[in-house]
Amino acid sequence: STNIQIAGSQAGVTYQLRNDAGDIAIGSPVAGTGGLINLPTGNLTANTTFNVFATITATGCDTEMNNTIGVTVNAIPSITSHPVSVTQCADNGTTFTVAATGTTLTYQWRRNGVNLTNAGVYSGVNTSTLTISSVAGVGGNFDVVVTETSATPNCPVASNAATLTVNPLPTGLAVTTAASAVC
């Protein structure tokens, strides 16, 4: 959704946003204030052209204002498969994968809400598959922001978070024998 703005609205006039195809009213009329007013479009699923119908409250005289306003609805990527939580031993690596549909997609993997870079144990941070070569010390919540870049503004959507649980390896183990000679 967005707002259609009227700068310099008139007090004593109500403004009704309408879908230009059939002059169908959108929402309720908004009273002019003498300044800027917003006419909300509601949720949009397709490109829409709007017009504004103005009515003088005291007399009932009305008119459709001169300009129409076109709003372009850009596609939002659809995540069809979210990354899945995993538990690994500290000496292992792992991957997280997302599947998404769209026209021109970019990816940005995050750990605990912070963007990752292709450095250290991380690779593929700008692809659909994040690879972690060693999970030791990097447990946490991983998600990916998928952005449709075929139009402006770009439209991002975040995946569900997947949890990486890291199980520690056994420590302090030493092998000894009870005697130095055995029969």
What's the distance, CA 2 to chain centroid? 16
pLDDT of the chain along its 183 residues, tens only? 899 999 999 999 999 999 999 999 999 999 999 999 999 999 998 999 999 999 999 999 999 999 999 999 888 899 999 999 999 999 999 999 999 999 899 999 999 999 999 999 999 999 999 999 999 999 999 999 999 998 888 889 999 999 999 999 988 767 666 666 666
Which residue matches tokens 């994968």? 97
Residue 153 preceded by cis peptide, ω within 30: yes
